[in-house]
Amino acid sequence: MAKLFATKPLSVLMADAQETGGHSLKRTLGPVNLVALGIGAIIGAGLFVRTAAAIADRAGPSVVLAFMVAGIGCTFAGLCYAEFASMIPVAGSAYTYSYATMGELIAWIIGWDLVLEYAVGAATVAIAWSEYANRVLDWFGWRIPYAWSHSPFETAANGAHGMMNTPAVFILLLLTGLLIRGTRESAFVNGFIVVLKVSIVLLVIGIGWGFMNPANHTPLIPAPTTYTTPQGIVHHYGGIMGILGAAGVVFFAYIGFDAVSTAAQEAKNPKRNMPIGILGSLVICTVLYVLFSYVLSGVATVEDFRTHGREASVAFAITKYMTDYEWLSKLVTVAILAGFSSVILVMLLGQSRVFYSMSRDGLVPKIFSDVHPRFRTPYKSNALFFVFTGIFAAFIPEDVVGEMTSIGTLFAFILVCAGVWIMRSRRPDLERGFRVPALPVVATLGIIVCGAMIYGLGWTNWARLFVWLLIGLFFYFGYGRRHSRIDEATP
């Protein structure tokens, strides 16, 4: 039992961080790369789809306040991530931080949970990427047949059956190859995608500002009532409950900034640059989200978002109200496609780095920490996760996973908030490149906000998480516990 909760000494973690040579990761990322990495992971289709859903079902124009609330909730966790990343600049993110503060079993659980966020999430986003790729091909009169762009469990209205989602496998293969080639090259491509999609978001904000109707923002906070969706689901609409409910919806548009911390071992000056990457990307995305939601809710009415599909409503609003700017609706589709691409890239990066750290600790096989002799990337880990995510994306429908991918993230946030507090009490002497202000308050608020978000996900997602954890514990006690190197690390 003592071994289950044995913590990894910080001296060993710091030795890992300072290691050089053929078995270590290559430090190539500066502050701009890290901020771009965070923006690449955060801004995806969620900005467009989640905003429309929150306006229609929960908040109306007060969606602006909902984005502020969600941004503040993420900031609590982001501050704690920033202190940990500046103190322990090692790959592995929440897994590594938990190992240093709460012990091996908790570290294993969070590492296993991160598979949900990164690997399963990457496969899920790849399936959505496939759908949008077909929309772009439609503009040129091309289309990948239904059978080769859907899973075997899906059937079209005309009776066509899916066989394999080849576009999803293609994008996973392409981005895996890029990651194997090198982190510097991956960061360059991610930076290009970030510039593209942020430019399109700024275009929507800049052009849409002149088409806003003040009546759509009056009142800014609608009177509290209820709204029943076409599927029969009843939501609180308007008032404080509407804003909080909408914050829960748009919160998931923020998820991804934690992936920056998985790249700590590839940052040039992690003590300084990791906090910049984590907090910088959060601040930039919060400002863009607030401005975008303000413009969108001012251009179109709440009824517009209710009567048109969440994914199509943004393009519809542009086409209907922004005269002579129909071309902008196509750019939104391009932005969503680009957003999906960078999200997949960062998720695949994050997962391979978490398993790299777990492999170095002996909890998963050594193959996950083998580094390419030339590119200095965990290439075997990348290849194995391509096989896993590729099988999932090719043959499983998107809605199977649903919001389950978010539970691992929120659980990680809670453990990081608690871990920073624990470490500040146990080791106040450690050098910290960044310190969380008002720590007990910030950590407590982070735990409360993230716990409330988890509670809102419902019992079905909890049941799936429970099954996933049982599978993970089977692997831990069957392999990880027997091969753990914690005894070597503990004096």
| Closest alpha carbon to 278 in 47, 438, 76 | 76
pLDDT at 236: 80
Span of 114-128, 135-149, 191-205 with lowest mean pLDDT: 114-128
Question: Looking at the domain that runs over 10-489, which CATH code has it been given?
Answer: 1.20.1740.10
- Amino acid at residue number 328: L
The arithmetic mean of pLDDT across residues 164-179, rounded, is 92
Give the number of other CB atoms < 10 A from CB of residue 480.
23
pTM: 0.79
The arithmetic mean of pLDDT across residues 215-220, rounded, is 91
pLDDT at 403: 53
Predicted confidence band at 120 (pLDDT cuts at 50, 70, 90)?
confident
Handedness of CA 403, 408, 409, 413 (dihedral sign): positive
Average predicted confidence (pLDDT) for the chain: 82
pLDDT, tens only, 175-187: 999 989 877 788 8
Backbone angles phi, psi at 29, to 5 degrees: -100, 125
pLDDT, tens only, 125-163: 888 888 888 888 988 988 888 888 888 877 777 778 888
> What string of DSSP letters covers 253-320?
GTTTGGGGGGGGGGBSSHHHHHHHHHHHHHHHHHHHHHHHHHHHHHHS-HHHHHHS-HHHHHHHHHHH
Q: State what percent of residues in the chain have pLDDT above 70.
A: 91
- Delimit the domains of the chain by residue range: 10-489
pLDDT at 311: 55
pLDDT at 260: 80
Predicted confidence band at 401 (pLDDT cuts at 50, 70, 90)?
low
pLDDT, tens only, 286-330: 999 999 999 999 998 888 888 865 555 677 788 888 888 888 888
Both structure tokens of 29: 């990322």
Predicted confidence band at 209 (pLDDT cuts at 50, 70, 90)?
very high
Instruction: Choose between 252 and 203: higher pLDDT.
Output: 203
| Closest alpha carbon to 465 in 381, 407, 386 | 407
Predicted confidence band at 169 (pLDDT cuts at 50, 70, 90)?
very high
pLDDT at 24: 63
Predicted confidence band at 57 (pLDDT cuts at 50, 70, 90)?
confident
pLDDT at 2: 61
pLDDT at 168: 92
- Amino acid at residue number 338: A
pLDDT at 65: 92
pLDDT at 474: 93
Kindly tell me if the per-residue pLDDT of 420 is higher than 80. yes
Q: State what percent of residues in the chain have pLDDT above 90.
A: 14
The arithmetic mean of pLDDT across residues 374-384, rounded, is 87
Give the number of other CB atoms < 10 A from CB of residue 466.
10
pLDDT at 304: 85
Asked whether 197 and 335 are in contact (CB, 8 A), the reply is: yes
Distance between CA atoms of residues 341 and 233, nearest Å: 32
Predicted confidence band at 12 (pLDDT cuts at 50, 70, 90)?
confident
Give the number of other CB atoms < 10 A from CB of residue 278.
31
Asked whether 176 and 385 are in contact (CB, 8 A), the reply is: yes
